[in-house]
């Protein structure tokens, strides 16, 4: 174990112990309220550029395995917990979380009062932070902090999107062809679309509309991802080419990008929504689901044309927009993660809605 410090941009700091990886990293620090699912959190591309603090005190008790990853690598910049579990137990586990973090060279810290850190972020908001095992001078860290970029205005999508177009599981026979713009797509989204009969053609976020149209898709999907949606005008312009032409479905960052493509604006939430226990009401069917969430930005519904766009879902914790749809075109978007399963599978029906839209659109051709 090595001495480590977490220094926040407002001067608040906490000391703890790092695992075997040492050094210094910087990013936006946020907290996640999930009691489990840490492997999915670590490998979620939406966390690129961020330091994640887990509010549940003991992390790592069921180890890690080969199948619960949401992408090909760990994306968090740093990982902070109260205590790592040294002894793991689960029939699916292949190694400990500690070994997994070390193998992926993640600067991970324990021994922090994560409750105090979380309460501070709730009051003051998510902020930039530096984790260091080398520099403990508050004056030096304050000087370094001035060079750490904020999340607003940052394009992290180019760091996580696929470099080349590919087809997910091309051996199967499919009923629909879906073009997916990869802003940091999670594996389970691809798995669900495939299981529902979709041949998914995954495109880099920088792909032009002409490239996507060349595969003659039945629908367009815009994925989750990290960073500020307002910093992605190149994706917004591509999406605009398909509105009213094809069924369109967006999740998380994809929800925000669809809001922008419809002429709306986005804003940064104080400390974001990160966890698996957020109650969301579907206004169309008058039901409440417990959802998994990971986003720091939100669509400003007041900035959208209410004659064309309606809110379909609201967050019952803070009344922010969690879903929208177009009144005339086959387009809808969800802010949370319907592909995740924080216990119940409350939100899988949203993927089936996308399938129905493609069926209906095919009949009108």
Q: Under 8 Å CB-to-CB from 158, ≥6 apart: which residues?
A: 205, 206
Measured CA angle at 282 (ends 295, 346), to 5 deg = 75
Q: Is 337 a catalytic residue?
A: yes
Give the active site residue among 273, 278, 326, 337.
Answer: 337
Residues 282 and 254: beta-carbon distance below 8 Å = no
Give the active site residue among 40, 110, 199, 339.
Answer: 339
How far apart are alpha carbons 34 and 17 in whole angstroms? 22
Residues 201 and 163: beta-carbon distance below 8 Å = no
CB-side exposure of 71: number of CA atoms within 13 Å? 23
Residue 282: C-alpha distances to residues 149, 260, 336 (Å): 36, 22, 12
Give the active site residue among 252, 273, 298, 313.
Answer: 252
3-state per-residue secondary structure call for 13-45? EEEEEECCCCCEEEEEEEEECCCCCHHHHHCCH
Q: Is 252 a catalytic residue?
A: yes
Beta strand extents in 143-217 (DSSP E only): 166-168, 176-182, 198-204
Residues 33 and 57: beta-carbon distance below 8 Å = no
Q: Is 124 a catalytic residue?
A: no
Residues 269 and 298: beta-carbon distance below 8 Å = yes
Residues 150 and 128: beta-carbon distance below 8 Å = yes
How far apart are alpha carbons 309 and 312 in whole angstroms? 9
Residues catalogued as catalytic: 252, 337, 339
């Amino acid at each position: 174990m090595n001495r480590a410090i977490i220094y926040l941009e407002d001067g608040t700091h906490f000391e703890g112990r790092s695992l075997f990886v040492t050094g210094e990293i910087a990013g936006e620090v946020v907290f996640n309220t999930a009691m489990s699912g840490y492997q999915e959190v670590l490998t979620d591309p939406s966390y690129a550029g961020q330091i994640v603090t887990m509010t549940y005190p003991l992390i790592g008790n069921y180890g890690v395995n080969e199948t619960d990853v949401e992408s090909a690598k760990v994306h968090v910049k740093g990982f902070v917990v109260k205590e790592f579990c040294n002894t793991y137990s689960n029939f699916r586990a292949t190694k400990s979380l500690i070994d997994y973090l070390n193998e992926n060279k993640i600067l991970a810290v324990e021994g922090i009062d994560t409750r105090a850190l979380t309460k501070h972020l709730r009051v003051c908001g998510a902020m930039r932070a530096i984790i260091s095992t080398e520099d403990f001078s508050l004056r030096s860290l304050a000087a370094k902090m001035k060079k750490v970029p904020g999340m607003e205005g940052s394009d992290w999508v180019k760091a996580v999107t696929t470099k080349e177009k590919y087809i997910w599981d091309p051996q199967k026979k499919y009923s629909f062809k879906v073009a997916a713009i990869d802003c940091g797509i999670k594996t389970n989204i691809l798995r669900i679309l495939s299981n529902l009969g979709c041949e998914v053609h995954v495109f880099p976020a920088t792909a032009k509309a002409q490239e996507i149209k060349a595969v003659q898709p039945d629908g367009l999907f815009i994925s989750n991802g990290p960073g500020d949606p307002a910093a992605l005008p190149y994706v917004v312009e591509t999406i605009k080419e398909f509105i009213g032409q094809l069924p369109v479905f967006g999740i998380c960052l994809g929800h925000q990008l669809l809001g922008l493509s419809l002429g709306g604006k986005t804003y940064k939430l104080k400390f974001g929504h990160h966890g698996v226990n957020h109650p969301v009401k579907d206004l169309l069917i008058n039901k409440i689901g417990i959802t998994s969430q990971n986003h720091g930005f939100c669509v400003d519904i007041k900035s959208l044309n209410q004659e064309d766009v309606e809110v379909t879902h609201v967050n019952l914790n803070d009344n922010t927009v969690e879903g929208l749809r177009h009144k005339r075109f086959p387009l809808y978007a969800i802010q949370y993660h319907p592909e995740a399963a924080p216990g119940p599978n409350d939100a899988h029906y949203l993927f089936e809605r996308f399938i129905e839209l493609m069926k209906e659109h095919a009949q009108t051709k």
